[in-house]
Amino acid sequence: MKKRYLALFLTLAMVFTLTACAKKETKVEEGTPQATAGQEAAQSTPEKEKKYVEMKVKGYGTMQIELDPNVAPDTVDNFMNLVHDEFYNGLTFHRIIPGFMIQGGDPLGDGTGGSEHKVRGEFAANGFANPLGHTRGVISMARAADYNSASSQFFIMHQDYPSLDGQYAAFGQVINGIEVVDKICEDVQTEDSNGSVKAKNQPVIKYIKEIEKPN
């Protein structure tokens, strides 16, 4: 699979040059007087239990991440299926941009790979109301220009970046160990402004596994 994954750029000017991030705003406003049929159905659906995973990065430490199927159910299901299959074990973070995010989960390690299954884009630009913003520690799915092209690649926010809201499927939050992201951003040498990392320098994900809710 040789389709280049959509770059997540540092500046709005760079973001606006991309097809997927062009200015075609689909606003999902809170407090809308008349909810759509889909929103009414969502409101009547019992809240789903959140999932928890632990991610260990060799030489950097461990993060615990809370995943919320109430904001992105298909995305969480897809991610958890990959976790249970041990898909992520031994993969890397191939793209690192301090002040922005770290991106990983590509079996090819160069931004062009992914898993076999594609997941629909659960974000506003794709007609899905997802209230989770891209703030520090949030985990979200990388994708190509096609809104429904996400598979295994994900990114974790180093700092807040609200221009990604409504364009990418945020689905969880680091609740313990965000300093791992800080250390990766501080230590890893990148090759260009797009955050590319040589294979030999890419931080390795030892494992991601499901855990009970941390105390």
β-bridge mates for residue 157, sequence order = 101
In degrees, to the nearest 5, what angle opens at C-alpha 57 toward C-alphas 56 and 59?
A: 120
What is the per-residue pLDDT for 33?
Answer: 39
pLDDT-derived band at 43 (thresholds 50, 70, 90) equals low
pLDDT-derived band at 137 (thresholds 50, 70, 90) equals very high
What is the per-residue pLDDT for 15?
Answer: 40
- Greater pLDDT, 138 or 40: 138
pTM of the model: 0.81
Consecutive H or E run containing 81: helix 73-84
Backbone angles phi, psi at 96, to 5 degrees: -135, 120
Cβ-defined contacts of 9-12 (< 8 Å, 24+)? 9/194, 10/97, 10/99, 10/100, 10/193, 12/163
pLDDT-derived band at 39 (thresholds 50, 70, 90) equals low
What average pLDDT does the segment 66-91 reach? Answer: 98
> Counting beta carbons within 10 angstroms of the beta carbon of residue 29, is it exposed (0 to 12), middle (13 to 18) or buried (19 or more)?
exposed
